[in-house]
Amino acid sequence: MIVMGIESSCDETAAAVVDEKGTILSNIVSSQIRDHARFGGVVPEIAARAHMDQIEQIVQMALDDAGLGLDDIDGIAATCGPGLIGGVIVGMMAGKTMAAIKNKPFIGVNHLEGHILSPRLSDGVEFPYLVLLVSGAHTQILIAHGLGNYELLGTSLDDAVGECFDKVGRMLGLPFPGGKYVAQLAAQCTDRQAAAEKFPLPRPMKGRQGCDFSFSGLKTAVLRYCDDLKGDGDKIMLAAAMEDAVADVMDNRMKNAISIFTTCYPHVEKGHIVSGGGVAANETIKARLTRLTDSHNMIFTAPPAHLCTDNGAMIAWVGIERLSRGWTDTMAMKARPRWPLEELKKDNI
């Protein structure tokens, strides 16, 4: 079985071709970052137009790279939400059009399910597992009980963690999106302890029950220090202090999640914790989660960076999993700016 996946919910126009064994036959991602950088954030109108300009050629490149034509594809999967609605409509309509013309099954994919299932594509992780989904738009901890059955344990009450990284990046004068650059600055810090002492930052929600997050207080605390920074040395230390504060919060929230997971699945030996979304590429956070997971006799799996950030392969993989079970969608499927994961369960009944 071979499925094409199309992704256009934010600022990446992406298409990929994947088979049922998880072989990625092609994976083309075109980023619009340069179009948005001067605005310091993704501008929905610009994004939608750029997706429209790009989509046809990205789909063609994905087919060419895979050495296949549309006739060789068994199904077409496209993100139908959640995301910036203009972009979602572009990718969804491209997918529906190809499916209609070639009389192929269409699978309307929830973008978040793409991130949740990508460790099954990269590492064949089996259900059930614990998921930390951390991106520019989302900060969620979930249990993936089975396909389409995801239980939300916690989420951010305000900013998403990636948004917090991006805002801190902006305060430090770094390019957009700042997460990667904050991480690069932090990596130059030779004394993290000294950084934490020089810039004591809050750990919002740490020590509280449950798995919710909050990042707006951390962002404001970083801003307070920004006026008095003396040179690059201070910037490096502040970036490191911020990254460690985030990692500390992640560690604490995931500890609670592990205890919920093990209560729910007491007989699962060596359960998996997986991470997804752009922030999951952060090495400091990864190292903390690996340590936490080891200490609970669990296994930590993070897909490779190119499958953590938005891509078409993860959408194609959701298509493979759903199509294998005969779960397809009709042309009546709608594009949705909001699409809570819990609704996927109802969709399947």
Applying CB under 6 A, which residues contact ligand KG4? 10, 135-137, 162, 165-166, 177-180, 183, 277-279, 281-282, 309-310
Look at the block and give the residue holding tokens 């938005």. Answer: 310
By C-beta, is 80 or 201 nearer to Zn ion?
A: 80
Told to check if 244 binds Zn ion by CB under 5 A, we report no
By C-beta, is 82 or 204 nearer to Zn ion?
A: 82
Told to check if 54 binds Zn ion by CB under 5 A, we report no
* Least Cβ distance, residue 307 to ligand KG4 (angstroms): 10
Cα–Cα dist 133/5, whole Å: 20
Out of Zn ion, ligand KG4, none, what residue 245 binds, judged by CB under 5 to 8 A for its kind, is none
Cα–Cα dist 332/100, whole Å: 12
The 8-class DSSP code of residue 329 comes to B
Tell me the angle at which helices 85-102 and 44-66 cross, rounded to the nearest 10 degrees.
30
Name residues contacting Zn ion, limited to 299-338 (CB under 5 A). Answer: 310
Three-state SS sequence of 85-152: HHHHHHHHHHHHHHHHHHCCCEEEEEHHHHHHHHHHHHHCCCCCEEEEEECCCCEEEEEEEECCEEEE
By C-beta, is 98 or 279 nearer to ligand KG4?
A: 279
By C-beta, is 189 or 308 nearer to Zn ion?
A: 308
Told to check if 140 binds Zn ion by CB under 5 A, we report no
Out of Zn ion, ligand KG4, none, what residue 178 binds, judged by CB under 5 to 8 A for its kind, is ligand KG4
Task: Name the strands in the sheet holding 106-110, side by side, starting at the edge strand that comes first in the sequence.
Answer: 24-31, 12-19, 2-7, 75-81, 106-110
* Least Cβ distance, residue 280 to ligand KG4 (angstroms): 8
By C-beta, is 270 or 338 nearer to Zn ion?
A: 338
By C-beta, is 212 or 310 nearer to ligand KG4?
A: 310
Among 26, 135, 156, 328, binds Zn ion (CB under 5 A): 135
* Least Cβ distance, residue 10 to ligand KG4 (angstroms): 5
* Least Cβ distance, residue 74 to ligand KG4 (angstroms): 27
Out of ligand KG4, Zn ion, none, what residue 281 binds, judged by CB under 5 to 8 A for its kind, is ligand KG4
Cα–Cα dist 179/161, whole Å: 9
Query: 109: which strand partners?
Result: 79
Phi/psi region, residue 321 (left: phi>0; alpha: psi -120 to 50; beta: rest), is: alpha
Cα–Cα dist 120/5, whole Å: 16
By C-beta, is 27 or 309 nearer to ligand KG4?
A: 309
Told to check if 13 binds Zn ion by CB under 5 A, we report no
Applying CB under 5 A, the residues found at the interface with Zn ion are: 135, 310
